[in-house]
A and B are shown apart, each in its own frame.
Chain A
Amino acid sequence: MVWEGRAHVFGDNVNTDYITPTDYMSGSMRSIAEHVFEPIAPKFHEVFEPGDIVVGGENFGCGSRRETAPKALKVKGVSLVISESFARLFYRNGVAIGLPVVTAPGVTDAVSDGDSVVVDLEAGVFRNETTGKSVATEPISPALRSVYEAGGILEYYKRNPNKLTLE
């Protein structure tokens, strides 16, 4: 699996209240998606294009367990989130709903806002096409690959009703 896009870089501890502010939570997923990152990056919408890649610092997606956070990013058109590290629930929700989430320690030192980047999971590498820098990505745990490759746990359930097989 290979993704290519422009990077939108965020700092450490981006919480789910920042990704999907409570004010818009009663709206449709489409309208929630229009307000992602608003408290910390109000101009995100002007520069974002579908297919772009979100780069996070440490503990991306911390705070409330709202699944709307990865969902809104997926609906917005974010192709992948790559981060120094993830909060457990954001990572888990990403797996569950089929938003690719990839851990790559050191990634924020290798990229600036607007750089063109490539993430190649098979090769296990994040490559910054603008600067030539690259960073290794952590492999998706083989145990979760079945859920991941199905595109989320819903799709997984349709293929394997009543059975979760990790081996």
Chain B
Amino acid sequence: MAEALLASASNTERVRPGDHVICKVDVVMTQDIHTPGITYILEKMGVEKLYNPSRVVVVLDHEAPSHTVTNATEKVRIREFIKNHPGVAFYDVGTGISHEVLPEKGHIRPGELVVGSDSHTVSHGAFGAASTGLGDTDIAYALATGETWFRVPESIAFDVEGSFSDHVSSKDLILYIAGTYGTDVARYRAVEFRGPGVEALPLDDRITLTNMSIELGAMFGFTPVDDVVIKYVEGRTNEPFDPMYADADAEYAKIYEIDVTHLEPQVAFPHDVENVHPISEVDPVDIDQVFLGSCTNGKYEDLRVAAEILDGYEVAPTTRFIITPASREIYARAEREGLIRIFNDSGAVVTSSTCGACPGLGMGVLGEGEVCLAAQNRNFKGRMGHDKSEIYLSSPATAAATAVTGQITDPREV
């Protein structure tokens, strides 16, 4: 899949792992944290006009709305940059997290090459795009020239058989993969999640897999490009696109087979995404804060699953539950479907759409000694606040069950 996409982007008949190729970039995304650094580099380069403004998307999502004067001033500069570059698609605070907003607003199409100033840009592989994060300097170069270089990665595949049991989801699968095969299993590789266990998943749940493929070290993550994907994209853009597929005889460095029929909920312990235990082996741990949100788990399906468990319960008195829908569109749908009321009635805090608590920016930061269970992507030491706080990672279902009891809880028992 990666080879097919990079051959197309570099206008080469065939590429092989290890080849270096120069690629035409279809979409460049930047978010608020890195846009000031990127515009500074563009100034240093002497670039006044972007290569193709209509294929540039800027999303203010990380510290949104601003909570410090410094950050507010940075955003003033970003909005000035937008004014000076007509044609750039701009989504101000509250629209949502970039990785949710880009497909929603029709910027993501199968077969295209997308680069973004955020590591979770790998998400868009769920739409059949070659999509990955780059550093500020590489992004500035892509904005100026419409090009970037890649070393063609090897590919690996996870063939997923069986179907998930109740309250077990793709988040449990990706944590299981990180725990079993390590956070470098896909380092400098492309990873494909395939098979009936993946094809049966709603798009939201597939995105959880591609999104967290960066946690396996991957350059690209893909799930199948099927009717579900094509229909979604056609509903969001009028621009033509040309989906690409892996060759029938495509070569893989390794193929892993996983049957999810008996997979149980998984929990990653502090401070590493690969420090994973099945929930039956987890002793009760008291939790100060539960978080449900981020580009990984703030999607509609994530909220729906959590609401189903939370309905009729109250959040434990010693615990706070913060819920952040990944976009305004998701927020609106959650409101229409009654999820927001369930959250609010239970005593959860529902916030505007932002990365927020996940990278420790804005509301929901952790104090000294606090313990958090988060349906998000990373649990590095100090990520959500104090260096002496701890983060456990789980699925949305486990997060909701834990919010009810105040201790890490198997969602199948609530």
Contacts and interface: CB of A to CB of B under 8 A. Distances in A.
A65 B134 contact: yes
Nearest to A26: B70
A48 to B, nearest CB: 20
A141 B151 contact: yes
A147 B141 CA distance: 12
Interface string B65-90: 00010110000000000000000000
A58 interface: yes
Interface in A15-48: 15, 17-18, 21-23, 25-26, 38-40
Interface in B379-395: 380-383, 387
A141 B20 contact: yes
A88 B151 CA distance: 10
A158 B387 CA distance: 41
Contact of A62 (B147, B148, B183): B183
Nearest to A22: B360
Interface size class of A (residues with CB under 8 A): 35 or more
Given A85-B184, A141-B20, A157 B45 contact: yes
A144 B150 CA distance: 10
Contacts of A17: 378, 380-383
B145 interface: yes
Given A39-B387, A152-B137, A143 B119 contact: no
Contact of A13 (B21, B34, B70, B183): B183
A1 interface: no
A162 B149 CA distance: 13
A38 B386 CA distance: 12
Contact of A88 (B70, B71, B217, B360): B217
B20 A143 contact: yes
A63 B134 contact: no
Interface string A49-78: 000000000110011111110100000000
A12 B380 CA distance: 14
Given A22-B361, A85-B187, A87-B187, A157 B135 contact: no
A93 B34 CA distance: 14
Interface size class of B (residues with CB under 8 A): 35 or more
A157 B151 contact: no
A153 interface: yes
Contacts of A13: 183-184, 272
Given A88-B217, A154-B45, A157-B45, A164 B20 contact: no
B188 to A, nearest CB: 5
B133 interface: yes
A65 B38 CA distance: 14
Nearest to A141: B20
A88 B141 contact: no
A153 B118 contact: no
A158 B382 contact: no
Contacts of B316: none
A97 interface: yes
Nearest to B22: A164
Contacts of B45: 154, 157-158
Interface in B26-57: 33-34, 37, 41, 44-45
Given A87-B217, A141-B151, A164-B147, A59 B135 contact: no
Given A22-B361, A166-B149, A92 B380 contact: no
Interface string B208-244: 0000000001010000000000000000000000000
Interface in B132-163: 133-138, 141, 144-145, 147-149, 151
Contacts of A93: 135, 137-138
Given A39-B387, A164-B147, A144 B183 contact: no
Nearest to A162: B145
B149 A154 contact: no
Contact of B68 (A26, A70, A158): A26
A83 to B, nearest CB: 12
B298 interface: no
B118 A63 contact: no
A62 B133 CA distance: 13
B359 interface: yes
A96 interface: yes
Contacts of B34: 66-67
B43 to A, nearest CB: 11
Given A62-B183, A162-B145, A89 B119 contact: yes
A21, A67, A143 — which one has the most chain B CB atoms within 10 A of its CB?
A: A67
A135 B308 CA distance: 57
A117 B382 CA distance: 32
Given A96-B138, A143-B20, A164-B147, 8 more contacts: A22-B361, A23-B360, A62-B184, A63-B378, A67-B137, A70-B135, A166-B22, A166-B149
7 contacts: A22-B361, A62-B184, A65-B118, A152-B137, A153-B138, A154-B41, A154-B45
